[in-house]
A = this chain, B = another copy of it.
Amino acid sequence: MTIKAILFDAYGTLFDVYSVKEKCEQHFQGKGEEISRTWREKQLEYCFLTQILQKYEPFDQLTEKALRASLAIHGTEGSEKECAELMKEYEQLSPFEETEEVLKQLKGKQTFIYSNGTRGMLEPLIENNGFQDLIGALSADEIRQYKPSPASYSYAMEKLGLDKTDILFVSSNQWDIAGASSFGFKTAWINRAREPVSALGFEPANIYSDLKGLLEEK
């Protein structure tokens, strides 16, 4: 295998975005699950929309707007303090069960997070989970072009100083796999939710049910 570096998506791939659910439930009883789900949907929608509109806004701002949208959709609203507290949860997301062990086993390889999240979101998340010796961080915010745009993947490639074919890109998000495959990276889709393969095309090279599958690629 000629892979020289592995790029990981953060949200949904290494870290569970639905781990904010409990905090949502504390603030908005009986609605925690649906608020956290719509929050994530709106976060992605706003990210795609600003990319298409060519009106970039940083991911932390979009995430906060998405939270407010979700609260409104579910017939509630949050104080400044509540929203700030919920936003803080994004720095403390839980990793998936196997994340740490897999990153440890991949030590010695070049591994980086490549996320739409800003450095200001990613660095505390890595530190709070004690992963600073296991993985580095690159953010699409540095080029202000969101994944899954070709410009975003191109930036990551140039930053690593490698060729497309040197890089394995890992994500549990099908839109991210579509973008990375279409750009020319080798891709591994972590299909945690057992979704059907996208009918759009741009398929992954490999599909695994969790990150442990990557150890076969070593």
A residues neighboring B (CB under 8 Å): 42, 45-46, 48-55, 62, 65-66, 68-69, 72-73, 146, 148-150, 175, 178-179, 182, 195-196, 198-202
Contact = CB atoms under 8 A, between A and B. Distances in A.
B52 A51 contact: yes
Contact of A49 (B45, B49, B200): B200
Copies of this chain held together in the complex: 2
A178 B62 CA distance: 15
20 contacts: A42-B199, A45-B175, A48-B48, A48-B49, A48-B52, A49-B178, A49-B179, A49-B200, A51-B52, A52-B146, A53-B149, A54-B150, A55-B202, A62-B200, A65-B199, A69-B199, A69-B200, A72-B199, A73-B195, A73-B196
B149 A199 contact: no
Contact of A69 (B42, B65, B68, B196): B196
Max chain B C-beta neighbours (<10 A), residue from A48, A52, A55, A179 = A52
A149 B55 CA distance: 10
A200 B69 CA distance: 8
Nearest to A72: B196
Nearest to A68: B199
